[in-house]
Amino acid sequence: MENPLCGAAFLKPETKQLAEPKPNQALIDAMTKSIDVSLATCWSIPDWPKWRDAAHDVKAYTLANLDKLLAQFADNLEAKGVKVLWARDAEDANKIVLEIAKENNVKTVVKGKSMVSEEMELNKAFASIGVRALETDLGEFIVQLTGKRPTHIVTPATHLSAKEVGEVFHEKLDVPFTEQHEELTMIARHKLREEFISADMGMSGINIAMASTGSFCLVENEGNIGLSTTAPKIHVALMGIEKLIPGPEYLPLFLNMLPRMGTGQKLTSYTHIFNGPTEGRKLYVVIIDNGRTRALAQPRHRKVLHCIRCGGCMARCPVYRQVGGWAYGWVYPGPLGIVLTPQLLGFEKAGKLPFASSLCGACSQICPVKVDLAHQIVRSRAESIESPASPAHSIAERLLWTGFVWMMKKRWRYNMAMRFVKIGARFAPLLPYHPWLMGRWTRGRAIPAAQKEGSFGKWWKKNHKD
């Protein structure tokens, strides 16, 4: 399966966008509004820090016992007549889902939003066997019409203004242009309604799975998940292995945290709990690893699997707000993507991502389940540089830093090096061309002129005689 992180093209768009940022005002406005509303809703709970601690502890317990809890979840599902299937990676998961589609002679699929299905590039896989898959979440529906990836994990079309959505609908759906929110929603509603009724199969992700009862929960605001999972006769739910909690006693905690940080709501408009197939219907649950056990096996990165996909860290991240989701090259953008993508795909494909951060630490502060994102970003940088297959692994840079350490160990070496730097700084602006990294740096910047007073040491001696 074609992976967008493979090949020489990877990170070129990111590099370009970081070098020549064109801030997207719709994205900046949406993120600013979203974070203000979310924080107010979260902190309206007086014990919010304790809730965060509790959610963190539940997730830590779950991950420490994941093998047993997953087995318990699967056994309980099967006892209710649910068909449980296990996928090692995205390719495996696609094979399983396509097999289900073929067995049931499926021609059309309606899909609720699922980031795992984005990992799998499931729509492409469906197209390869002639199955038409339609995204039914409003944001995903818009993004699918544009033929691009979502830019955010909760609000996929957040980069588009109402005017731009109106233009997309006008062009792709052949309807009169409008930029009125209600009218745009009604157009999508009208187009999607018939699809729900006629689809052969419905698909969804899973927000929270409960091991002790073999049930799972989906939250939404639009009603499309309810229709996608109940109108067709077959429902296939995709789940990453980390979506589990031990049992329903912890469900209210996560049902509160996810929408409060995700959309600033106390609860989502709809909460669905699935307890097995109803009569005459089929329910499949596909449990997917796709690199997650790699993170699970590393104590330094395990906490990234606490993530409940609320999107809060993206809204808070100064880099994400400038560059948007596509710049991160794959499914998960922002601080979450920086940490998770190298774990899922390996540093050889995503080794540059950990460097797309200002390291301000705002993401760690905001995360409702206390994923230590900032620390993980720093660790990922170190690991990326150490990993020989990573594009961030540079022998030249290693030599440079070894030389720097050698220089800093003796005062005379430092002084001598500074003399060379001064001479270089004086003559560099006169040169027509600067080689290698220097050239990249000076393309958009002027080299600062050396101080006339000489070195910092001389200045210090002159001004601090006592």
Q: Residues 138, 369, 385, 392: which binds ligand SF4 (CB under 6 A)?
A: 369
Nearer CB in complex with ligand SF4: 160/338: 338
Least distance in angstroms from the C-beta of 459 to ligand SF4:
45
Least distance in angstroms from the C-beta of 342 to ligand SF4:
14
Per-residue x/- mask for ligand SF4, residues 298 to 337, rule CB under 6 A? ---------xxxxxxx----------------------x-
Least distance in angstroms from the C-beta of 301 to ligand SF4:
12
Nearer CB in complex with ligand SF4: 112/262: 262
Least distance in angstroms from the C-beta of 339 to ligand SF4:
8
367 binds ligand SF4 per the rule CB under 6 A: yes
Least distance in angstroms from the C-beta of 366 to ligand SF4:
6
Nearer CB in complex with ligand SF4: 39/97: 39
Nearer CB in complex with ligand SF4: 154/392: 154
Nearer CB in complex with ligand SF4: 149/235: 149
| Interface size with ligand SF4, residues (CB under 6 A) | 14
Least distance in angstroms from the C-beta of 101 to ligand SF4:
30
27 binds ligand SF4 per the rule CB under 6 A: no
356 binds ligand SF4 per the rule CB under 6 A: no
Nearer CB in complex with ligand SF4: 226/311: 311
Least distance in angstroms from the C-beta of 424 to ligand SF4:
43
- Which of the residues 398 through 427 are near ligand SF4 (CB under 6 A)? none
What CA–CA distances, in Å, run from 187 to 193, 351, 405?
A: 10, 42, 63
Nearer CB in complex with ligand SF4: 313/385: 313
**Residues in contact with ligand SF4 by the rule CB under 6 A:** 307-313, 336, 366-369, 371, 373
